[in-house]
């Protein structure tokens, strides 16, 4: 009996690595191996040793092989989707000069502000890159490194993003893709290439950067004998360029040129992320105007404080996650790690509207509401970047695809549904980033379109929740506090 081909999609996130083994023909998930990452740092620092990512990838693949019982010879391709923006600086031996600076390391906020000013303001940046530097962006992190650790910067023989680092370990070939590269603020979505003037501005030699593949699905090489031996896989299988985690999630949802365009998705995880695939190149200072993995664009907004921040509030109150009730008069902005959207890197949490009658359950509910209103305000900006009017009834009633860990939480779903007033679609798959990466791997091995392939894999399986009456009172109360408090939160 012929062996059914299998592809591996790796989701290398902030906290863990997941390796999904997917039947390349049907999209059936055969196994998902997992391994954890370590994140260190205090205050605004968030760092990880890149070698931890490689060890976790190996452990996740081994666990997936064991769980599935597959003959490794069935595997025909592999791709990595990684956490965006992280700065990986390597020496000539390919080893990290220092721990990688992660996307949620906010120490580079001053450098981001200085870079914005140096080029002439937000509009000058969005015209080139689609995005304005904030603390998350890799260019700001490189500038921070140059100013604070010049020896580490001068020792750089290569500069990589997290998924680039892992892809290079797999194929022995340096490569990135337009999607993840567009999160650096040194790649231009206007030209589809690294921007020489921006590289000069931040003092980064283009020779330190990997070549940019045409798409995340492009085959950039084959699994080396060394990597194959470490992973227990056949040498020579296809290695795709891979992409950033958000771009892979869009592929996994079937969003892109061969699928749905201008349809919004909301991911509730460590961060709250809203995005849509579009043919319109985004250029809004309020957004990250990314490229997508398939050659379209991915206007995206990301909030730093989502499920972990609300879980922290629940822990402080001594409550379970689902013990929350609607917040009543209370407003709680859970900006425990500063905030990225809106750009308030120095912010802390804010609580207002307390009464004698306020309960712990209402305080927890207010934390959910603060996080959800923040991310839904960002969603409106994403829709505008797609050339849509969020107030238009046809747009306002378009289903919102809800994904991420929070999409499995009852109160998260209830709060998003109540405050958005939109119908919700909750896909059956919980590993959309890994599934999207698997579609890129399958495309690299077979030449099929990754978005169309992922859409065919879905089979229409999703929980559909009809809209409810929109809670405009909560929307306006929380929005009003945010708008009034923003100048104070900036300081």
Residues 371-397: pLDDT tens digits?
Answer: 999 999 999 999 999 999 999 999 999
Name the residue with tokens 């929307």: 475
Numbers of helices and strands, H then E, in the chain? 17, 22
What residues form the annotated binding site for substrate?
84-85
Domain spans in the chain, listed from the N-terminal domain onward: 6-245
Instruction: Give the C-alpha separation, 379 to 300, whole Å.
Output: 8
| Contact call for residues 89 and 156 (beta carbons, < 8 A) | yes
Average the pLDDT over 228-246 and give the result. 97
- Residues annotated as catalytic are 245
Average the pLDDT over 448-468 and give the result. 90
**Cα→Cα distances 144→116, 188, 311, 479, Å:** 14, 21, 31, 33
Strands 400-403 and 331-333: unpaired
| Contact call for residues 373 and 266 (beta carbons, < 8 A) | no
Q: Would the CA dihedral through 220, 290, 288, 8 be positive or negative?
A: negative
pLDDT of residue 462: 85
Instruction: Give the C-alpha separation, 258 to 240, whole Å.
Output: 19
Q: 17-37, pLDDT tens digit by residue?
A: 999 999 999 999 999 999 999
Write out the two tokens for 91.
């020496």
The yes-or-no verdict on residue 270 having pLDDT over 90 is no
| Contact call for residues 320 and 410 (beta carbons, < 8 A) | no
Q: 102-150, pLDDT tens digit by residue?
A: 998 999 999 999 999 999 999 999 999 999 999 999 999 999 999 999 9
Instruction: Give the C-alpha separation, 333 to 339, whole Å.
Output: 10
**Of 45-59, 65-79, 343-357, 456-470, which gets the smallest average pLDDT?**
456-470
Instruction: Give the C-alpha separation, 204 to 27, whole Å.
Output: 41
Mean pLDDT across the chain: 95
Q: 174-213, pLDDT tens digit by residue?
A: 999 999 999 999 999 999 999 999 999 999 999 999 999 9
By C-alpha distance, which of 479, 366, 467 is closest to 420?
467
Name the residue with tokens 């929070």: 406
| DSSP label at residue 208 | G
What residues form the annotated binding site?
84-85
When computed from its CA atoms, the radius of gyration of the chain, rounded to whole angstroms, is 21
Write out the two tokens for 310.
């609300």
Average the pLDDT over 277-296 and give the result. 94
Strands 272-275 and 16-23: unpaired
Reported as a pLDDT band with limits 50, 70 and 90, residue 487 is confident
The yes-or-no verdict on residue 491 having pLDDT over 70 is no
| Contact call for residues 201 and 120 (beta carbons, < 8 A) | no
Task: Kindly report the length of the chain.
Answer: 491
Instruction: Give the C-alpha separation, 202 to 424, whole Å.
Output: 42
The reply to whether omega before 342 is within 30° of 0 (cis) is yes
Q: Beta partners for 79?
A: 9
Indicate left, alpha or beta for 470 from its phi (over 0: left) and psi (-120 to 50: alpha): beta
Strands 243-244 and 75-82: parallel
Q: Which residues contact 51 (CB under 8 A, 6 or more apart)?
A: 95, 96
pLDDT of residue 1: 45
Q: 3-class DSSP state for residue 128?
A: helix
**φ, ψ at 77 (rounded to 5°):** -170, 160
Q: What CATH number belongs to 6-245?
A: 3.30.420.40
Average the pLDDT over 239-260 and give the result. 95
* Core vs surface per residue 270-308: b (16+ CB within 10 A) or e: bbbbbbbbbebebbbebbbbbbbbbbbbbbbbbbbbbbb
What pTM, to 2 d.p., does this model score?
0.90
By C-alpha distance, which of 253, 258, 341 is closest to 300?
341
pLDDT of residue 74: 97
The yes-or-no verdict on residue 7 having pLDDT over 80 is yes
| Contact call for residues 310 and 321 (beta carbons, < 8 A) | yes
| DSSP label at residue 29 | E
Reported as a pLDDT band with limits 50, 70 and 90, residue 428 is confident
| Contact call for residues 183 and 138 (beta carbons, < 8 A) | yes
Q: 306-333, pLDDT tens digit by residue?
A: 999 999 999 999 999 999 999 889 999 9
**φ, ψ at 160 (rounded to 5°):** -135, 160
The yes-or-no verdict on residue 2 having pLDDT over 70 is no
Instruction: Give the C-alpha separation, 418 to 365, whole Å.
Output: 12
**Cα→Cα distances 200→143, 178, 186, 251, 491, Å:** 12, 20, 10, 33, 30
**φ, ψ at 486 (rounded to 5°):** -55, -45
Crossing angle between the packed helical segments 450-458 and 432-446, to the nearest 10 degrees:
130
């Amino acid at each position: 009996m012929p062996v059914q081909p299998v592809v591996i999609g790796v989701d290398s996130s902030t906290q863990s690595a997941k390796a999904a083994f997917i039947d390349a023909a049907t999209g059936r998930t055969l196994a998902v191996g997992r391994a954890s990452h370590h994140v260190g740092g205090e205050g605004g620092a968030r760092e990880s040793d890149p070698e931890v990512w490689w060890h976790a990838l190996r452990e996740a693949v081994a666990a997936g092989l064991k769980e599935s019982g597959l003959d490794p010879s069935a595997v025909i391709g592999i791709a990595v989707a990684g956490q965006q923006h992280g700065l990986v600086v390597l020496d000539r031996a390919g080893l990290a000069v220092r721990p990688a600076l992660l996307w949620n390391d906010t120490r580079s906020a001053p450098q981001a502000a200085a870079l914005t000013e140096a080029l002439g303001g937000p509009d000058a940046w969005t015209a080139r890159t689609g995005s304005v530097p904030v603390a998350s962006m890799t260019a700001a992190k490189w500038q921070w490194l140059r100013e604070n650790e010049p020896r580490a910067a001068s020792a750089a023989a290569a500069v990589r993003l997290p998924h680039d680092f892992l892809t290079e370990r797999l194929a022995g070939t340096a490569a990135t893709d337009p999607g993840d590269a567009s999160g650096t603020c040194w790649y231009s979505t206007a030209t589809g290439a690294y921007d020489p003037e921006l590289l000069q501005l931040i003092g980064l030699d283009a020779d330190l950067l990997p070549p940019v593949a045409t798409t995340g699905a492009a085959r950039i090489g084959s699994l080396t004998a060394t990597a194959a031996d470490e992973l227990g896989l056949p040498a020579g299988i296809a290695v795709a360029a891979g992409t950033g985690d958000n771009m892979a999630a869009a592929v996994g949802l079937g969003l892109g040129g061969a699928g749905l365009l201008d349809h919004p998705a909301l991911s509730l995880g460590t961060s709250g992320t809203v995005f849509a695939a579009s043919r319109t190149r985004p250029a809004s200072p309020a957004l990250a105007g990314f490229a997508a993995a398939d050659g379209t664009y991915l206007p995206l907004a990301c909030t730093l404080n989502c499920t972990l921040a609300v879980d922290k509030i629940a822990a402080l109150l001594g409550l379970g996650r689902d013990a929350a009730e609607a917040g009543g008069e209370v407003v709680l902005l859970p900006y425990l790690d500063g905030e990225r959207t809106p750009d308030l890197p120095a912010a802390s949490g804010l609580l207002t509207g307390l009464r004698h009658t306020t309960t712990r359950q209402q305080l927890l509910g207010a934390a959910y509401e603060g996080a959800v209103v923040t991310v839904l305000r960002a969603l409106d900006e994403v829709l505008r970047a797609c050339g849509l009017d969020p107030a238009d009834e046809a747009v306002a009633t378009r289903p919102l695809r809800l994904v991420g860990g929070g999409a499995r939480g009852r109160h998260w779903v209830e709060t998003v549904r109540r405050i958005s007033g939109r119908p919700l679609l909750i896909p059956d798959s919980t590993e959309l980033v890994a599934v999207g990466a698997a579609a890129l791997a399958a495309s690299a091995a077979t030449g099929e379109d990754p978005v169309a392939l992922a859409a065919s894999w879905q089979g229409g399986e999703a929980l559909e929740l009809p809209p409810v009456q929109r809670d405009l009172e909560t929307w306006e109360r929380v929005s009003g506090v945010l708008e009034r408090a923003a100048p104070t939160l900036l300081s």
